[in-house]
Amino acid sequence: MVNVDIKGCASFIEPAKYEAYVNKALEAFDVLESENGAGNDFLGWKHLPSEVPASILGDIDAICHLWKEKGVDLVIAIGIGGSYLGAKCVIEALSHNFARQLKHKDAPEVVFAGNNLSEEYLAELMDLAAERNVACIVISKSGTTTEPAVAFRIVKQFIEQRYGKADAAQRIVAITDAKKGALKTLSTQEGYKTFVVPDNVGGRFSVLTPVGLLPIAAAGLDTKALLEGARKAENALAVKSAQNPAVVYAAMRNLLFSEYGKSTEILVNYNPKLSFVAEWWKQLYGESEGKDGTGIFPASVNNTADLHSMGQFIQQGTRIMFETVLHVETAQRSMVIGSDEQNLDQLNFLSGKHVEHCNHMAELGTRLAHIDGGVPQMTVSIEKLDAQNLGALLYFFEFACGVSAYTLGVNPFNQPGVEDYKKNMFALLEKPGYEEATQAIRARI
Ligand code: PA5
């Protein structure tokens, strides 16, 4: 379902070195599969596709049904980082590009909040909410993250004022820790339906828990097909082999980084629907590998748009990067370029051709040009951008991330550095308990 092609790296590497890194990746594969490596209390994501309880899917369906009966047409999904990007990337990838503008709507619109602290964003979100029939999914594993907590306070007050407390309790669903945290306490007190983020699943690996599945289902998308695709990938990737796509990807990216100084990986797409898959991937790899003074910096471009902005740098700038191209074999819609009698734009040589054919030629031409310019290329392919293939792709990147981070020698499942900005922010905001830090930070500014 997911294929990795490394031919575009061949001219940059020595085969013996690649073999050595395949062996390192196979050792890392064993660590991941034996579940005795660093961070092994966070491996619950590995078997989510095959073990997600039917009761969870039933509960998710029941909420979507209840909200449909109430006429809900706007679902505000509140969360940040791993409590946001999985749902956002799946909804963007599987929805009509112009779902918001089309008159016919099959499902509520899902919008996101709590992923920034912009006053304008929240004020304008409330302008939208004022015109719509609103429900809310608030997601925070810790239940204490500032950005979603601020957004939720505002959205909760709006929903309670508009619909009353009893109806609000049916319009608000919380996804949080099973036992602890402010959001758990509040949900119990207010009688919200809650879903649990399993203790052994970290935020960036949580897309196939209710964290991702509820917003995705609320948007009317096929969670069962998404899980089915992930399940196929779970089975396929569990086979230890030098040809396992996760092993190949992990081996090559570590080789390029450690032996050839390629410290930036650019995930390239040729379909605007994939731009948030890249954002999700950046968090997955950035938080999992960027620690202990090492790690590949994950970046992304959306082509062909970015060929007209970042293309110059990639072709001829500092030679620090390799590219991983997300290749989608077939488009799911058809659009053929017509002929024109005058041919003023001189495009008649393309008449009768599919737009996607041009897209694929742009992709191929760019890959070859970037190889000539000194940028190694890998390709990660799926057959088409549907729920099954996307589920497989997400699981592939998760599994490969575990293999790759262990190959690099870091714990893939912690993120100690994320706390540092929070300490400074709380000190600056004079949070009780931070008095000393407030004084210290004031002395610096
Ligand atoms: O991957 C992670 O663990 C983080 O990105 C978290 O998901 C993010 O910080 C949000 O945390 P929480 O869900 O506890 O609010």
C-beta of residue 147 within 8 angstroms of C-beta of residue 116: yes
Residue closest by Cα to atom 2 of ligand 1: 203
**Cα 365 to ligand 1 centroid, rounded to whole Å:** 39
**Cα 42 to ligand 1 centroid, rounded to whole Å:** 13
Evaluate if residue 1 carries a pLDDT over 90.
no
C-beta of residue 385 within 8 angstroms of C-beta of residue 269: no
- Percent of the chain exceeding pLDDT 70 equals 100
Q: Which residue has the tokens 């009780």?
A: 432
Rounded average pLDDT over 187-191:
95
Q: Which residue has the tokens 């999700």?
A: 280
pLDDT tens digits along 210-255: 999 999 999 999 999 999 999 999 999 999 999 999 999 999 999 9
Catalytic pick from 92, 147, 265, 287? Answer: 287
- Domain 44-224 CATH class label: alpha beta
- Which alpha helices (H) appear in 35-53, and where do they start and end? 48-51
Neighbours of 30 (CB within 10 A): 14
**Cα 122 to ligand 1 centroid, rounded to whole Å:** 20
Atom in ligand 1 nearest the alpha carbon of residue 211: 13
pLDDT tens digits along 125-163: 999 999 999 999 999 988 889 999 999 999 999 999 999
pLDDT of residue 262: 98
**Cα 137 to ligand 1 centroid, rounded to whole Å:** 15
Catalytic pick from 7, 65, 105, 422? Answer: 422
Q: Which residue has the tokens 């890249």?
A: 278
pLDDT of residue 120: 98
Three-state SS at 298: strand
Pocket test for ligand 1, best of 139, 142, 180 (most atoms within 8 A of CB): 142
Evaluate if residue 339 carries a pLDDT over 90.
yes
Cα 155 to its chain centre, rounded Å, is: 24
Q: Which residue has the tokens 């609103």?
A: 134
Distance CA 384, CA 282 (A): 22
* Residue 359: band (very low, low, confident or very high) from pLDDT cuts 50, 70, 90: very high
Average per-residue pLDDT for the chain: 96
Evaluate if residue 180 carries a pLDDT over 90.
no
Domain 3-37+227-415 belongs in CATH node 3.40.50.10490: yes
Distance CA 165, CA 339 (A): 61
Distance CA 165, CA 150 (A): 19
> Catalytic site residue 124?
no
By residue count, the chain amounts to: 445
> Catalytic site residue 422?
yes
Distance CA 221, CA 223 (A): 6
pLDDT tens digits along 375-424: 999 999 999 999 999 999 999 999 999 999 999 999 999 999 988 888 99
Q: Please, where in the chain does CATH 3.40.50.10490 lie?
A: 3-37+227-415, 44-224
Taken in order 75, 79, 82, 85, the sign of the CA dihedral is positive
Ligand 1 pocket by C-beta < 6 Å: which residues? 80-83, 140-142, 145, 148, 202-204, 287, 415, 418
Catalytic pick from 308, 341, 419, 436? Answer: 308
Rounded average pLDDT over 43-48:
97
Three-state SS at 328: strand
C-beta of residue 94 within 8 angstroms of C-beta of residue 390: yes
**Cα 437 to ligand 1 centroid, rounded to whole Å:** 23
> Catalytic site residue 384?
no
pLDDT tens digits along 360-380: 999 999 999 999 999 999 999
**11: which DSSP letter?**
G
Taken in order 324, 329, 331, 336, the sign of the CA dihedral is positive
C-beta of residue 119 within 8 angstroms of C-beta of residue 82: no
